Amino acid sequence: MKKIFYILSIAFIGLAFNVVPVKDYVAVTGKITNPTSDFLMIQSRSFSKKIQVKQDGTFSDTLKVEAGYYRLSDGTEALNLYLKNGYELELTLDTKEFDGSIVFQGMGAEANNYLASKNLLLNTFFADDSLFELDKIGFDKKVSEGSQILTTSLTKAKTLDSIFIEKEKKDVSAIVKYYSESYNDNHYLKTVLVKGAKAPKFIGYENYNGGKTSLEDLNGKYVYIDVWATWCGPCKGEIPFLKEIEKTYHSKNIEFVSISVDELKDHGKWKQMVKENELSGVQLYSDKNWSSQFVKDYKISGIPRFILIDPVGNIVSADAPRPSSKELKALLDELIK
């Protein structure tokens, strides 16, 4: 009996010495075909690491990370990663076919191949403009097909941890919700906020020059509205073009109105930006930022957003061309002769 116990003890000791400890870092290697940069960046809100890419497109490094989502970028394109210490990932991709060429191998590959396929699906299946041209039944069927592809991949997965699966299932639900809301907003724009319909109003918005201004105060003129915020990069990118448009049509029967949807805490930033950038036209501050009735009435979910209203208060376009587009000048020239 003692002999058997001794043999078993030796066996367990041998097994203990054969256990490979989990590494406290992520090993990332790979090869990029047609590299566009000599480095890669892996980042999250609290993490940043620069990885050198050799002339032959290969790279290799180790990272100590908190388990979670990260972004890998070559400065031109980017992809999502899910990293945990202990992963040993090998990535191959071709920058000329970026999304469609991403392949991961090694420990952690299943989660990251899933993210790559999800991103490809979002950029093809869901990004197809014809999706929003379908009737409601056709749209719901198409979105259901897309979400089913993702959930099936998660269900069939063999090595994904439960936390990742739970997060991704929630994300699939969020994607479906987002596209459903976008479809409803798009339908609303095409059926309710149509050309010739009575324009939803803004009432008593703070005017940078003092007092309050309402849409009705501008009756008798075309009104070109820019909905923006001080934190919005694309909004600020349109400012030089808007100034040129304002200058071109300065003496015409049109009023240029900019409505800030900045939060109350950024009210001072709004006033400062108007002053420092010498913004002209009618500069207004919305009463409840994103919760303003005007924002809700126009289904504004992203900025900048431009709206054109005619002299009697009817909609010309609830989603008008941007100042930087040639279409705006052509439209204004046609209206204001």
How confident is the model over 117-173, as pLDDT tens digits? 999 888 887 777 788 888 889 889 988 988 999 999 898 888 888 899 999 999 999
* 249 & 185 share domain: no
Point out the domain boundary residue: 135, 157, 191: 191
Residue 151 belongs to a domain: yes
* 298 & 246 share domain: yes
Q: Phi and psi for 2 in degrees, rounded to 5?
A: -65, -35
Residue 21 pLDDT grade (very low, low, confident, very high; cuts 50, 70, 90): low
Residue 58 belongs to a domain: yes
* 235 & 330 share domain: yes
Note the pLDDT of residue 194. Answer: 92
Measured in Å, how far apart are the chain's first and last C-alpha atoms? 107
Note the pLDDT of residue 260. Answer: 97
Residue 3 belongs to a domain: no
| pLDDT at residue 39 tops 50 | yes
* Alpha-carbon torsion (213, 215, 221, 226), positive or negative: positive
* 223 & 292 share domain: yes
| pLDDT at residue 314 tops 90 | yes
Alpha carbons 79 and 86: distance in angstroms, whole number:
20
* 269 & 211 share domain: yes
Residue 141 one-letter amino acid:
K
pLDDT digits (tens, 9 = 90+) for 189-211: 788 889 999 999 999 999 999 99
Alpha-carbon dihedral angle through residues 316, 329, 204, 239, given to the nearest 10 degrees: 140
Note the pLDDT of residue 122. Answer: 85
Alpha carbons 321 and 306: distance in angstroms, whole number:
7
DSSP string for residues in 212-269 = EE-GGGGTTSEEEEEEE-TT-HHHHHHHHHHHHHHHHTTTSSEEEEEEE---GGGHHH
Average pLDDT over residues 22-40: 93
Residue 39 belongs to a domain: yes
> How many structural domains compose the chain?
3
* 66 & 142 share domain: no
Structural domain boundaries enclosing 82: 19-106
Which residue blocks in the chain are alpha helix, DSSP H?
A: 2-18, 98-101, 109-124, 136-156, 162-191, 233-248, 267-276, 293-297, 326-335
pLDDT > 90: what percent of the chain? 73
In this prediction the pTM is: 0.63
Pairing mode, strands 254-260 and 282-285? parallel
Residue 58 one-letter amino acid:
T
Note the pLDDT of residue 132. Answer: 80
CB 66 within 8 A of CB 72: no
CB 255 within 8 A of CB 280: no
Residue 13 belongs to a domain: no
| pLDDT at residue 8 tops 50 | no
Alpha carbons 69 and 87: distance in angstroms, whole number:
13
